[in-house]
Amino acid sequence: MLQREFFARATSIVARELLGTILVLQRGTERLSGRIVETEAYLPEGDAASHAFRGKTPRNAAMFAQAGTLYVYRIYGIHRCINIVTEEEGKGCAVLIRALEPMQGVETMQQRRSLTDIKHLSNGPGKLAQAFGFELADNFADVCSESLHLLPSVFPVYADDIGISPRIGITKAAELPLRFFLRSHPYLSRQDKN
DNA sequence: TGAATGATCACG
DNA sequence: GTGATCATTCAT
């Protein structure tokens, strides 16, 4: 599985290299997993779109923990989003996991999402958090652990396979190309031209 | 295109 | 204390 050193690097590098890796969550006897196909980088300095832009607060505290820490937050009063903390402890940066392709535990995901179409189970940050059952209680969880970790991509991911675009749903620093995705992948939160 | 839905944070 | 804002989703 991916070690902490993997996450303790420049955030945009981590965001890019997370594409194709497999998120594994063991809850009791059940294992859920999926292949990451879309991420966004939230940089440590000068990134006005980042929750950590104005420093540490109760909500974003996990972003200042060590690399490989899970940062879970509630958005729009309804949904949850999950991030993985990057770089050195205390810098305040992370990668948002925006979409993945379900692998193991599809039935559970279908129940949680109240729908059967696999393409719509986890093609968005709020959707994948719901499908995997991530809660605010999972904030600060260790992504380098038995019950929660990432496995290397089964297939090689070449530069040509990767698309880059501005991040979605933000109003500040909206032009920065910090969203990374597997080009033409059917499980993206939205389909891009390039 | 807009409603749902509520915590968070900056400001004073 | 107050109010604008929000790294979204879904139905209309």
pTM greater than 0.85: yes
CA distance linking residue A47 with residue A54, whole number of Å: 10
User: Residues A156-170: pLDDT tens digits?
Assistant: 999 999 999 999 999
Instruction: Find the helix or strand (DSSP H, E) in which A96 lies.
Output: strand A94-104
Q: Give me the pLDDT at residue A194, please.
A: 57
Nearest to A12 by CA among A87, A92, A62: A87
Q: Could you tell me the CA-to-CA distances from A44 to A101, A112, A144, A184 in Å, in that order? A: 28, 34, 21, 29
Query: What is the Cβ-side half-sphere exposure of residue A163, based on CA atoms within 13 angstroms?
Result: 16
Kindly report the bases of strand C lying within 7 A of a protein C-beta atom: 5-10
CA distance A133 to A32: 10
3-state secondary structure of A89: coil
Per the CB < 8 A criterion, the answer to whether A135 and A80 are in contact is yes
Contact flag, residue A43 CB and nucleic strand C, below 7 A? no
Coil/strand/helix, residue A76: coil
* B strand bases under 7 Å from protein CB: 4-10
For A152, list phi and psi in degrees, rounded to 5.
Answer: -60, 155
Average pLDDT along chain A: 97
Nucleotide nearest the Cα atom of A59 (by C1'): B8
**Alpha-carbon dihedral of residues A9, A10, A12, A13, nearest 10 degrees?**
-50
Taking only the tens place, the pLDDT of each residue in A120-147 is 999 999 999 999 999 999 999 999 999 9
DSSP-assigned beta bridge partners for residue A150: A23
